[in-house]
Amino acid sequence: MTDMPTATYQTRRGELETYFDRTAVKAWERLTSDAPVGRIRATVRKGREEMRNTLLSWLPEDLATRRVLDAGCGTGALAVEAARRGADVVAVDISPTLVELGRARTEGKHGAGQVTFHVGDMLDEGFGRFDHIVAMDILIHYQPADVTRVLGMLARRTTSSIVFTFAPRTKLLAAMHNVGKLFPRGDRAPSIVPVAPAHLRALIEADPALRDWTIGREKRVAGGFYISQALELRRR
């Protein structure tokens, strides 16, 4: 395994940057707020909240003195909750607009910890080492081989755990994809890449970069137009 992201990773990263920073900024600003939304987006908001709470519950309750990377932080909802437990959170996203929105929304709400927002790539080693890394609903857009590659690169900078989500391959998710194709092209999010959970676990277990890690808890959150599966990796 080399230290450079693949061409497919770089291409998809560029698509995500365009979508979240240009195409759908207003939609995501509304979705991640308390503003009223339609029925479909309401199920997405509810699902994201449940998933966020799940990932947070897999971190220690007391995060004082711990460094946490919120990879793909968006507007910072997860980051600020981790900071309230005492964590020093580095919140990273490729969208400057969402990062600025996160700074504005979370100012003065960090509790005992702190949140430092950055525009950039979660793989940037300049952010340093972490006790825990959280990647919620960002790796769902990448090919399985890129997912394990990213996890291996993040693992080198992590001392305790990585918790992340992926898109489980299900009939329900396939049906949702077909419905999504009916929306105007400009309103579509970058496609997610479903993967069979057993296949992803096998890739992780076979990756030499993750040989010092073991698979821990799993949980699927599914409701309405939101479906995502959480997975925990723990250092042996």
Contact between 224 and 44 (Cβ < 8 Å)? yes
Q: Show pLDDT as tens, one digit a residue, over the chain (236 residues).
A: 446 567 788 888 888 877 777 667 788 788 888 898 899 899 999 999 999 999 999 999 999 999 999 999 999 999 999 999 999 999 999 999 999 999 999 988 888 999 999 999 999 999 999 999 999 999 999 999 999 999 999 999 999 999 999 999 887 666 655 555 444 444 455 678 899 999 999 999 999 999 999 999 999 999 988 999 999 999 99
Q: What pLDDT is attached to residue 184? A: 42
Would you kindly state where each structural domain of the chain is located, as residue ranges? 7-235
Q: What pLDDT is attached to residue 187? A: 47
Q: What is the pTM of this model?
A: 0.88
Q: What pLDDT is attached to residue 49? A: 97
> Hey, which bits of the chain come out as E strands?
67-71, 88-93, 114-119, 130-135, 158-166, 213-223, 226-235
Token pair for 196: 């069979």
158 forms beta bridges with 130
Contact between 224 and 47 (Cβ < 8 Å)? yes
234 forms beta bridges with 161, 214
In this structure, CATH architecture of domain 7-235: 3-Layer(aba) Sandwich (3.40)
